[in-house]
Structure 1
């Protein structure tokens, strides 16, 4: 059985050990993950998925008055049905975090208002509670809404689908998150220069239950990896880890590198984007650099010196751990000496 979100092939022993066989169809569809112990953990929806659902519902309710659920095709290609509450152009949707226990945005209400456009065309307007970048960075201009490209594509596609289904010539949709500014203070946004609200994100459209999963299934996979293991912190890192080290098992551990290294037996590789890796090596790595994020640091002339220093220090602490740091295009920008 294969996970359609990550392409991970579940061992038959895990399937046999499943404590809730009635939930295996959800695992096959990507709605949940199966751990080595047989426990099934439900995936949640990202802020991007929640935003797409509420915007689509607002538009659909212009033609059929009430809407209690909509289908959204996620960036990973899977279509899900999301509960909503929509009436005559105004919709609400509450973020479902699934089995992820530490999601600061769990249960947060998203609100969308849609009005027909007499002149045609579709306009999407991010409003109150959605953060914006406080300064120019390599990928974002100051004042740009903090909405990732995959999430924005999902939102726009969902609105377009609703316009066509409702038979409208066009619409304007305003998305707000009433408690967004308040909840954003519990996230990393203030530290990375995003102000005024939450970020709307979602590479796959799903929230992974990593806090539970890493202690139950992932650590066991790391310990039992037959030819060594590659630890990575995110989905892009997972993709490049599989490309660079095809003979090793690549395991996504999020921000649990410390626990993962303790579980590893034998030579280990850490491979992925620079953010979590450098922060793990040295939580104060940005001190004195003038940069707000490690990704920003990686684009400056300081990067080679800082990365080289941190990699050398890390090698002294973990002599059997090789580190390969890549950028978003898969280029190696840092490697253990």
Structure 2
């Protein structure tokens, strides 16, 4: 059995030990994860998925009056249905954290208001409670809403689907998070320069219950792998690792690089985006740079010198591990000497 979200293959022993066999179809669909202990944990939904559901419900309720559930296709390609409370152009959707125990946004209400567009066209307007960037970054200008590209694509796709289904000429949709500014103070947003509210995020559309459930299986996969191994930290890293190292087995380890390197036998490659990799090499890498994120650092003139310094220091500690750092477009921006 393979997880369609992470591409993780569950060991047969885990499947045999499952204490809730009736939930295995949810595991196969990606709605839940199976653990080594045999328990099944439900995935939650990201802020991006919640926002998309609220927006779609608001638009549909313009034509169909009351809407209690909507379908959303997540960035990872899986179709899900979420409950909403929508009536005459106004919809609420509450953030479902699944079995993730520490989600500060759990239960938070997302509100979308839709009005027909007389001139045609579709407009999405981020409103109250959605954070914005307090400074220019490599990918965002100061003042722009803190909405990731996958989340924004999901929201717009959901709105367009609703416009077609409702047979509207167009619509304007305003999204708000009434308690967004308050809850954002419990997140990292103030530290990384996102002001006034929450970020709308979601690379896959799901919130993982936690990543520890995969550690045992991942480490076993590393020990059993034949040939070269590429360890990567995220889905984009996994994609580019497979392209750059087609003869190697690419394994997604997330933030568990220390554990993964401990069980590698011989040479290995670490490949992925700079954030987790540089922070893994040196937790204080940003000290003295004036940057609040590694991605921001990678766009400054300091990047080349800092990356070269950290790669050389890491090579001393791990002489048999090659490191390849890529940007979001797959370009190599740092490599072991």
Tell me the TM-score normalised to structure 1 length: 0.90
Look up the match of 1:72: 72
Look up the match of 1:33: 33
Look up the match of 2:208: 208
**Is 2:138–2:296's contact at 8 Å kept on the other side of the alignment?**
yes
Rate the CA distance shift 1:126–1:7 in 2: closer, same or farther, 3 A: same
Once residues 255 and 8 of structure 1 are traced to their aligned partners in structure 2, the CA distance between those partners, rounded to angstroms, is 15
**Is 1:181–1:196's contact at 8 Å kept on the other side of the alignment?**
yes
Once residues 22 and 245 of structure 2 are traced to their aligned partners in structure 1, the CA distance between those partners, rounded to angstroms, is 35
List aligned pairs for 1:39-78, cutoff 5 A.
Answer: 39-78=39-78
Note the C-alpha offset of 1:59: 1.5
Look up the match of 1:304: 304
Note the C-alpha offset of 1:89: 1.9
Note the C-alpha offset of 1:100: 2.8
Once residues 287 and 78 of structure 1 are traced to their aligned partners in structure 2, the CA distance between those partners, rounded to angstroms, is 40
Look up the match of 1:182: 182
Look up the match of 1:110: 110
Rate the CA distance shift 1:33–1:229 in 2: closer, same or farther, 3 A: farther
Deviation by residue 1:127-166 (Cα, 9 ceiling, x = unmatched): 0111111122221111111111221121112112212222
Look up the match of 2:97: 97
**Is 2:43–2:207's contact at 8 Å kept on the other side of the alignment?**
yes
Look up the match of 2:153: 153
Deviation by residue 1:145-204 (Cα, 9 ceiling, x = unmatched): 111122112111211221222233322211011121122223222232211111111222
Look up the match of 1:293: 293
Rate the CA distance shift 1:103–1:215 in 2: closer, same or farther, 3 A: farther
**Is 1:37–1:217's contact at 8 Å kept on the other side of the alignment?**
no
1:258 aligned counterpart, secondary structure: helix
What residue ranges of structure 1 are gaps of 5+ in the alignment?
Answer: none
Once residues 101 and 240 of structure 1 are traced to their aligned partners in structure 2, the CA distance between those partners, rounded to angstroms, is 31
Note the C-alpha offset of 1:304: 1.5
Bigger Cα displacement from structure 2, 18-27 vs 241-250: 241-250
Bigger Cα displacement from structure 2, 303-312 vs 186-195: 186-195
Note the C-alpha offset of 1:56: 0.6
Once residues 217 and 210 of structure 2 are traced to their aligned partners in structure 1, the CA distance between those partners, rounded to angstroms, is 10
Once residues 296 and 79 of structure 1 are traced to their aligned partners in structure 2, the CA distance between those partners, rounded to angstroms, is 34
Once residues 271 and 100 of structure 1 are traced to their aligned partners in structure 2, the CA distance between those partners, rounded to angstroms, is 27
Deviation by residue 1:84-139 (Cα, 9 ceiling, x = unmatched): 12222221111122233333322222111122233333221100111111122221
**Is 2:91–2:111's contact at 8 Å kept on the other side of the alignment?**
yes
Look up the match of 1:84: 84
Rate the CA distance shift 1:266–1:184 in 2: closer, same or farther, 3 A: farther
Note the C-alpha offset of 1:309: 0.8
Once residues 259 and 116 of structure 2 are traced to their aligned partners in structure 1, the CA distance between those partners, rounded to angstroms, is 52
Once residues 171 and 306 of structure 1 are traced to their aligned partners in structure 2, the CA distance between those partners, rounded to angstroms, is 48
Tell me the TM-score normalised to structure 2 length: 0.90
List aligned pairs for 1:217-236, cutoff 5 A.
Answer: 217-227=217-227, 229-236=229-236
Rate the CA distance shift 1:255–1:6 in 2: closer, same or farther, 3 A: closer
Deviation by residue 1:282-323 (Cα, 9 ceiling, x = unmatched): 122112222222112212222121011111112222333322
1:25 aligned counterpart, secondary structure: helix
CA RMSD, aligned part only? 2.3
**Is 2:122–2:171's contact at 8 Å kept on the other side of the alignment?**
yes
1:145 aligned counterpart, secondary structure: coil
**Is 2:35–2:214's contact at 8 Å kept on the other side of the alignment?**
no
Rate the CA distance shift 1:227–1:289 in 2: closer, same or farther, 3 A: same
Note the C-alpha offset of 1:15: 3.3
Look up the match of 1:125: 125
**Is 2:36–2:213's contact at 8 Å kept on the other side of the alignment?**
no
